[in-house]
Amino acid sequence: MKNISLDKKTILITGGTGSFGKKFIRTVLERYKIKKIIVFSRDELKQSEMYNDLAKHKEKIRFFIGDVRDLQRIKLALREVDIVVHAAALKQVPSAEYNPFEVIKTNVIGTQNVIDAIIDSDVERAIALSTDKAAAPINIYGASKLAADKLFISTNNYSKKKFSVVRYGNVMMSRGSVIPLFLEQSKTGVINITDERMTRFSITIDEGVNFVINCLTTMWGGELFVPKISSYKIVDVARAISADCKIKIIGLRPGEKIHEEMITVSDSVNTLEFKDYYVIMPSTIEFMSWKLPDFIKNSGKSPAKLCTENFSYNSLNNKDFLKVNELRELIKRQQ
């Protein structure tokens, strides 16, 4: 299956005014000769600010106020669109635990609305952003994203359009990252940590955007892509921000894990390893229009291999851990 270029394509991104969306849009506008990019989101203020920031690209960018909960609005926005990046979601874990059905409305029902609208459109392919919290979820955010992932992948069973998912860890300096919070707390001389054992996956916004673009241009439809990325210890993040601050342990928040996971042991039986990433294959692959041996041979620059039995990929057993000095330099570059 041939790779595609984003040149001359019209792209719509849901949740386009978020941390990922802003960087993705700027990168695509500067790197490709796209036909048009449509920003679909609820916040008119953020859209206005983005319009001002990207004024030199105003001929190629359009803003569409809408909510993924509104199927008819999505259908209208998808007219003459070639590619969809689905990034809209409710993501704050404590808030989600307190408002669970609101999370379901956006992350699950909203995702199904996006799927239904794509099926009734001229869109060729779509990719959804997931989270490490969707693997063996213990909170409603993770559970809702796992459901959304399953909805997206399963659409390949009955549609000729291509649907895939990208799953990765915490984006450094994003709104959901702990780093901006620690930077603010460091001014008081005390940084609050929920559990000193805690580890997390880490990816920069540039790495996340580049990975999504690569997956978008190479996907066959049905893959759940997982990048090979670094982990860090939360206490090391605090030390990187300030070696002099006191660390106060305050206990786990509702729905919070000590370690995050991106590929479970159960997933590993359907997981392929490439040089820089993994692909979790759908359990319903027999219903899809392409065959696994062809994918293993032709989907990457080097052939894939099946993961070993009982393999798992989590932030504790990861082979690549960032040291305090590496974290300090990364944080400085991202500010």
Enzyme catalytic residues: 133
Three-class secondary structure of residue 51 per DSSP: helix
The amino acid present at 302, given as its one-letter code, is S
Q: ∠ CA(112), CA(117), CA(120), 5° rounding?
A: 130
- The whole-angstrom separation of Cα 243 and Cα 59 is 48
Q: What is the CA radius of gyration of the chain?
A: 20
Spatial contact of 236 and 198, defined as CB atoms under 8 Å apart: no
Q: Is 229 exposed, middle or buried (0-12, 13-18, 19+ CB in 10 A)?
A: buried
Q: ∠ CA(213), CA(218), CA(219), 5° rounding?
A: 100
Q: ∠ CA(279), CA(155), CA(147), 5° rounding?
A: 70
Spatial contact of 326 and 235, defined as CB atoms under 8 Å apart: no
Angle at which helices 110-119 and 140-154 cross, to 10°: 10
Spatial contact of 265 and 235, defined as CB atoms under 8 Å apart: no
Closest CA to 306 of 326, 292, 288: 292
Three-class secondary structure of residue 208 per DSSP: helix
Spatial contact of 221 and 288, defined as CB atoms under 8 Å apart: yes
